[in-house]
Amino acid sequence: MNIELVPNWARVLRRAWTVWLAVLSALLASAEIYHAELVQLLPLLQGYLEPGTAIKLNLLLAVAMPVVRIIRQAKLDADQAA
């Protein structure tokens, strides 16, 4: 198996929706893991960040990632044409 990077890999890392959703997913997972500590550090989050909220948002991101992967992203397509 030969794995090759796309020619504009650095731009893809900065601009691709799937990359940003994956980063957001990781942050939400961290928020769920450290929920108690976050609420202690930032008490104002207590009314907004209920236990389980990050898991539900993470599930939505997991569903959204394959969908946005097949959507054409004009800014990335323009780089490939250049």
For the stretch 36-81, pLDDT in tens is 776 676 666 666 667 777 788 888 888 888 888 777 777 766 555 5
Of the candidates 82, 71, 81, which has an alpha carbon nearest to the alpha carbon of residue 16? 71
pTM over the 0.85 mark: no
Q: Is residue 44 part of a domain?
A: yes
**Number of domains the chain contains:** 1
Q: Is residue 8 part of a domain?
A: no
What pLDDT does residue 42 have? 66
Q: Is residue 49 part of a domain?
A: yes
- When pLDDT is averaged across residues 1-30 and rounded to a whole number, the result is 84
